[in-house]
A and B are shown apart, each in its own frame.
Chain A
Amino acid sequence: MEGYSRKDEGCCQFLDLVTKEKEEEVHARISAFSEEKKLELSLAPPGQDWTTKNPSRFAQNPWKSSHFLHLESQPCSSRAAPDLKIPEKKTFTPANLAVPNNSAQKRTAPAVVGWPPIRSFRKNLASAGSSKFAVEDKTPESKAKENCAKTMFVKINMDGIPIGRKVDLIAYDSYEKLSFAVDELFGGLLAAQGDQGKAMRGLLDGNRGYTLVYEDNEGDRMLVGDVPWHMFLSTVKRLRVLKSSELPTLSHGGDKQSKHMASTPPN
């Protein structure tokens, strides 16, 4: 059988690798590996200061680039992050090696999905400031610092779509970007279901088919866009995309609701 012989071949080749591997080769590989580790590799053109880029968008796998130099060449080198939309895929070539920036080496590893491995309810504690000492003075700056989590995944559900998704709010720094991302996330699914994908545009102005709302830390349902972005980040618990025809049924916090409906969203 075709598959059978292929497996045997792979097996024999691998066992050859195991028996022929000598200590020196192993050590040479290890030292080559640690040399390469010192190079900060990025997807940016060489010479560009990579510390100014949004780390969570570009540097998903800190080890990955050195690994490519290591093993047999992989034709496919780009890897789209599950929750972020990277506009263009850049193929890895040696020309993309950036010279290390000394200050960059002092930083911790750039934000990576699922790292450090702690449950999200432990992460959110830190960003909401609740795990700071009760005696501490809550100055505005310290509150702003508390929102410096590198990822903040919240669930987002959409009317008519049974499966929800998660978005990392730290990846966006404005309502516009969030709106665009949500658009992209669900637009495709809606089109697949036969709905008008175009009605997704302009989630924030409430004039189209759908509106973006969120649930805050008090359990109230609020219109997205009313408060400054920073404040939104510190209170949002989950997002929802509603059919605009259902807006009047926003039940929690009646007064809040009418106040928010009347006001125009900023930016």
Chain B
Amino acid sequence: MAYSFPEEVLEHVFSFLSSDRDRNAVSLVCKSWYDIERWCRRRIFVGNCYAVSPEIVIRRFPELRAVEMKGKPHFADFNLVPEGWGAYAYPWIAAMEEAYPFLEEIKLKRMVVTDESLELISKSYKSFKVLVLTSCEGFTTDGLASIAANCRHLRELDLRESEVEDLSGHWLSHFPDSCTSLVSLNMSCLGSEVSFCALERLVARSPNLRTLRLNRAVPLERLANLIRRAPQLVELGTGAYSAEIRSDTFSNLADAFSACKQLKALSGFWDVVPSYLPAMYSVCSGITSLNLSYAAIPSSDLVKLISQCQNLQRLWVLDYIEDSGLDALAASCKDLQELRVFPSDPFGAEPNVSLTEQGLVSVSEGCPKLESVLYFCRQMSNAALIAIAKNRPNFIRFRLCIIDPQAPDYLTLEPLDAGFGAIVEKCKELRRLSMTGLLTDRVFKYIGSHAKKLEMLSIAFAGDSDLGLHHVLSGCDSLRKLEIRDCPFGDKALLANAAKLETMRSLWMSSCSVSFGACKLLAQKMPRLNVEVIDERGPPDSRPEGCSVERAYVYRTVASRQRLDMPDFVWTHDEDSSLRYS
């Protein structure tokens, strides 16, 4: 049976497919669909930059316009990946320069980006529009200056949470007067002061500006003028939110805010002086996203602010909100979907605020749409977790961090197995889970049996034996990313589930009981898995065979397993000699 849609028709049909999954599915139907699809794919997402090489990507997709990529594993955020491990953007940028002259978007996460890369980007693409660098590092404000100066049609420059070597604020002044295309500017991670005049002029000549996230160095007195020049803003990140208490500053600010009829998201708020918070009240009813995670505001002021924001969908806040504030949140914000509570004093021996498991229970009771939680606290009980699970079976992301990583149920002193068991049993759509507390192999049995849609699991200081890891690897059908630290999991579970690892993006295990011998074996058996042994104590074979490696990072790849940028503390399988790791 032959059907004969002309290629152009198929291409047109495919152009309506935006999701990667759909496009990947389409490309598997037959050879001709594969070919047509690859020529018309414009956007690509690479979840692990080492899973594939630039050459392979370029060969398959010759007409890309947007590339999104992730580098280091998530635990790099907590200093568990040594400096110099890898995830360099330059080889990709250099390879794409020739292949994609019409490239418009580059989005990178946890990658090392140098000034050379930024300069190359700024000079290579005539219609470059979007640069998003999330949690990246390796560049300075000089690199930003190149982007500002050379990208004539720049729409987005977003440096979220990147570590930038801040040489000066002059980079901003490199935006030419002719640049009027800015839609989004996020410089919140930078330290230096930029020229306020340059900033005001830039904002004034950008009629499409929707997102402006300032850095801490922009004082409150300057905020009103900036906002006035951009009443169409949808997302605003303030600078330091403090000034001497003066009525003219206040009324100036309040007026400016009241002109912003489209404002939906607020962030920034370093050094908050609570008296200035009411200046924002006029926009609160429209606010759906509020990030107060840098703001030291007592619970009472937080409650006053939050109770104005009845349409709030996302709240990030410090634990100064306390249980009482969370009660108020549960009462006022019925549309709440995401809550993150960060610790104000993570290293203190004693609690400094009255925030307990009760706050989370209240919110789970009062907010029917709550589906995503990140909660730092100092005590938890099985009863609370069971109640939360019953209240809120619609959780998609549940991340709990108890400051003492092996804290038992504080009421019964038992492990928290039953509590987390209830979470995975009731929340059938759960995609992401992070656990802490005293946890035995039993909780992993529950996870393996119930968490069928779980895609990402983070475990620390938990479990008793390999059985725990085995339950997870053999039971969690949708698992893509597994990150483990300081757990007694080792060789047996790993080797027994070797095939599973190829169905996942990656597995990270640090300070566990994985031996070098098992790593070698795994790499030999599974040619499409790269088994990286990351160990700063010197060559792994200089220690006894049974000795545990510091870190093992295992990921599937179709690229070479001997990446050229490996530092001297990483060992992988040597393809030439299957017996020797080099």
Asked if B345 and A30 make an inter-chain contact with CB atoms under 8 angstroms apart, the answer reads: no
CA distance A82 to B80 in the complex (A): 9
The number of A-B residue pairs with CB atoms under 8 Å apart is 183
Asked if B511 and A71 make an inter-chain contact with CB atoms under 8 angstroms apart, the answer reads: no
Asked if B296 and A130 make an inter-chain contact with CB atoms under 8 angstroms apart, the answer reads: yes
Contacts known (A79-B511, A163-B84); A62 close to B406, Cβ less than 8 A: yes
Contacts known (A108-B349, A126-B346, A134-B272); A115 close to B495, Cβ less than 8 A: no
User: Is residue A94 within 8 Å, beta carbon to beta carbon, of the partner chain?
Assistant: no
Asked if A118 and B460 make an inter-chain contact with CB atoms under 8 angstroms apart, the answer reads: no
Q: Which of B417-440 contact A (CB under 8 A)?
A: 438, 440
Q: B-facing mask of A1-22, CB < 8 A → 1, else 0?
A: 0011011001101110110010
Q: B-facing mask of A133-175, CB < 8 A → 1, else 0?
A: 1110000000000001111010100000001111000000000
Q: Which of B446-461 contact A (CB under 8 A)?
A: 460-461
CA distance A126 to B318 in the complex (A): 11
Asked if B513 and A153 make an inter-chain contact with CB atoms under 8 angstroms apart, the answer reads: no
Asked if B406 and A122 make an inter-chain contact with CB atoms under 8 angstroms apart, the answer reads: no
Asked if A75 and B547 make an inter-chain contact with CB atoms under 8 angstroms apart, the answer reads: yes
CA distance A244 to B72 in the complex (A): 35
CA distance A13 to B547 in the complex (A): 20
Asked if A125 and B294 make an inter-chain contact with CB atoms under 8 angstroms apart, the answer reads: yes
User: Is residue A95 within 8 Å, beta carbon to beta carbon, of the partner chain?
Assistant: no
User: Is residue A63 within 8 Å, beta carbon to beta carbon, of the partner chain?
Assistant: yes
Q: A-facing mask of B68-95, CB < 8 A → 1, else 0?
A: 0000000101111011100000000000
CA distance A63 to B191 in the complex (A): 39
Q: How far is the CB of A148 from chain B (nearest CB, A)?
A: 7
User: Is residue A43 within 8 Å, beta carbon to beta carbon, of the partner chain?
Assistant: no
Contacts known (A3-B578, A21-B467, A29-B465); A114 close to B191, Cβ less than 8 A: no
Q: How far is the CB of A242 from chain B (nearest CB, A)?
A: 15
Asked if B343 and A116 make an inter-chain contact with CB atoms under 8 angstroms apart, the answer reads: yes
**Subset of 28 A-B contacts with CB under 8 Å:** A7-B495, A14-B492, A29-B464, A30-B441, A62-B405, A63-B486, A63-B488, A70-B464, A74-B513, A74-B546, A76-B546, A76-B548, A79-B511, A108-B404, A114-B75, A115-B78, A119-B78, A120-B79, A126-B347, A131-B296, A131-B344, A132-B296, A134-B242, A155-B163, A163-B84, A163-B567, A165-B84, A219-B168
Nearest first, the 5 A-B pairs at minimum CB distance are: A76-B547, A114-B78, A163-B84, A14-B492, A67-B488
Q: Which residues of B contact A (CB under 8 A)?
A: 75, 77-80, 82-84, 135, 161, 163, 165-166, 168, 189, 191-192, 242, 270-274, 293-298, 318, 320, 342-349, 376, 401, 403-406, 415, 438, 440-442, 460-461, 464-467, 470, 485-486, 488, 490-493, 495-496, 498, 511, 513, 521, 524-525, 536-537, 543-544, 546-548, 550, 567, 578
Q: Which residues of A contact B (CB under 8 A)?
A: 3-4, 6-7, 10-11, 13-15, 17-18, 21, 26, 29-30, 33-34, 37, 60-64, 67, 70-71, 74-76, 79-80, 82, 107-109, 111-123, 125-126, 130-135, 148-151, 153, 155, 163-166, 217, 219, 237-238
